[in-house]
């Protein structure tokens, strides 16, 4: 599975380290909260709400350079809208990879 990276953040920052640190800080703050809400909704079988959570999380997936994982999230979001959890394991594996990566920053 692909690994998160800071390439996109670095390309957006134009070398501005303060900007990079601020953006990373925002992701580190928001990601655990958004992930927690997603797990609450998926556990309660609130698939529409979980789809909305996946939609928000997709942006962080993209920012962390996870191109293939973004597509996994898009497909999973579509399945959730149709009340299906197809793709859940793959999506949740991505969340774990992101969690581990953010802890290293």
**Which H, E and C letters describe 22-88, residue by residue?**
HHHHHHHHHHHHHHHHHHHHHHCCCHHHHHHHHHHHHHHHHHCCCHHHHHHHHHHHHHHHCCCCCCH
36 lies in some domain: yes
1 lies in some domain: no
93 lies in some domain: yes
Q: How many domains does the chain have?
A: 1
Query: Tell me, what's the pLDDT at 34?
Result: 98
Q: Which domain holds residue 36?
A: 7-104
46 lies in some domain: yes
Give pLDDT tens digits along the chain (105 positions).
799 999 999 999 999 999 999 999 999 999 999 999 999 999 999 999 999 999 999 999 999 999 999 999 999 999 999 999 999 999 999 999 999 999 999
pTM greater than 0.75 = yes
Query: Tell me, what's the pLDDT at 1?
Result: 79
100 lies in some domain: yes
Query: Tell me, what's the pLDDT at 101?
Result: 98
């Amino acid at each position: 599975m692909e690994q998160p990276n800071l390439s996109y953040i670095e390309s957006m920052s134009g070398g501005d380290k303060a900007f990079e640190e601020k953006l990373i800080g925002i992701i580190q703050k928001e990601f655990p909260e958004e992930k927690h809400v997603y797990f609450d909704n998926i556990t309660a079988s609130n698939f529409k709400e979980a789809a909305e959570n996946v939609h928000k999380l997709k942006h962080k997936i993209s920012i962390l350079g996870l191109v293939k994982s973004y597509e996994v999230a898009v497909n999973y979001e579509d399945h959730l809208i149709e009340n299906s959890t197809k793709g859940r394991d793959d999506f949740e594996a991505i969340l774990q990879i992101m969690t581990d990566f953010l802890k290293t920053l």
